Amino acid sequence: MQEILSALDGLLPRASEHAAAAMHGSGRYWSGPLDVQRLAVSGVGLAATCAQQLAHSLGREDRVITARLPEVIAAFGSVSHLRLDGQSLPGFAPCSGFFPVADGWLRTHANYPHHRERLFRALDITHDDALAPALARLTGEQAESRIVAEGGIAARVATEQEWRADAASTPGPWLELTPADTPVRLFDRAGSGASTRSSDSAGCPSGSAEGPFAAPRGTTSLTPLAGVRVVSLTRVIAGPTAAKFLAALGADVLRIDPPALPELLGQHLDTDPGVRCVSWDLADPARADDLADALDAADVLLTGYRPGSLTDLGLDAASIRDRFPHLVHVELSAWEPSGPRGGRRGFDSIVQAATGIAHHYGARDEHGRWRPGALPVQTLDHTAGYGMAAAA
């Protein structure tokens, strides 16, 4: 957890101290063998500290950004509090969960229809009830390999020791920062000329709200991040959590999703408050131009798709840095790039299974059979989201 608190100490003086001080409250809300609560608090504290530092650099020295522990607990479990037409949202889909395999357990993720289709194709099945028998005939490695080869989501449940033994190298830093070739300067929204990006470098006039962004640069607001523009190419929980946090503090956030893969309704309602969402096919040259206009006008780009999946669209890190050098580009990856799963799709529950967390939370059921368990909330996703917001 100290690595999270100190992730930006080299850039922000006493960042770890301020991150710890940004949190208020005490008590133990989540039980279990791992200190999940401290993980959550560390991520939120770092994001709050960085947001306050940014607000101060914009001349808003009177803005104080803190969080109370009960609010953090509620935010990390937000989907469980959400009601749609008075009804709670369904949890994991029937084909998402732990399933016995010939030599242990496998975790699958099939909440999204396209992932369910790939799972079925990999195992040559046609209905939900066929999943458990199909997996029981395979080893964990066989099942994982087949499903991943079809673009599906699965991971064998491993112990922490197995995970560390299989890792290609010592895990890298939680946040890895690559300095820009040119200084990243924020727009002068107060007209003071202090440490800002000019309107020319951002590609938009300071007094207009052109393109997809709602507010002109000169809009007066009491919110800490008013005038900061963010484009979010992220899905599910982690990236949208970063976008939601920045939007809550006043940033103008635009989320772009592909029409063929719409976000789940409950996920959208939970993660997109304050965020304007559009559905653009970025393979369409006209929409690609729209995105380029948005990126010209933006300050921050968040990307959270599988590593390499945006390259054909010219949205890989190298291309973004070349075409839009003014942007702060924050990339999210579930896996260590050089590790055994580098380049794969990743979800919180799958990372838990692969890294030993699910094993740590395992227990005997009512029949005396051991089965893996899970963190009380999707802590890895949420904390990663606050880490993205801090990096931005």
Give the pLDDT score at 369: 92
Write the DSSP assignment of 243-311 as a string of letters.
Answer: HHHHHHTT-EEEEEE-TTSPPPHHHHHHH-TT-EEEE--TTSHHHHHHHHHHHHH-SEEEE-SPTTTTG
Q: Tens digit of pLDDT for each residue in 333-383?
A: 888 777 778 888 889 999 999 999 999 999 999 999 999 999 999 999 999
352 in Cβ contact with 154 (< 8 Å): no
pLDDT of residue 190: 34
Specify the pLDDT at position 208: 38
- Are 224 and 55 spatial neighbours (Cβ–Cβ below 8 Å)? yes
- What local confidence, expressed as pLDDT, does residue 2 receive? 57
pLDDT, position 325 = 92
Q: Which pLDDT belongs to residue 338? A: 74
What pLDDT does residue 194 have? 31
Question: What is the 8-class DSSP label of residue 8?
Answer: T
Structure tokens belonging to residue 144: 């994982």
Report pLDDT for 206: 31
Q: What is the pLDDT of residues 304-315, one digit of tens each?
A: 988 888 888 989
Q: H or E element: which one contains 160? A: helix 160-166
Structure tokens, 70: 């009960």
Coil, strand, or helix at residue 61?
coil
Alpha carbons 288 and 281: distance in angstroms, whole number: 8
Amino acid, res. 191: G
All residue ranges of the chain with pLDDT < 50 are: 185-209
Asked whether the whole model's pTM tops 0.85, one would answer yes
Q: What type of residue is 314?
A: G
Q: What is the pLDDT of residue 196?
A: 32
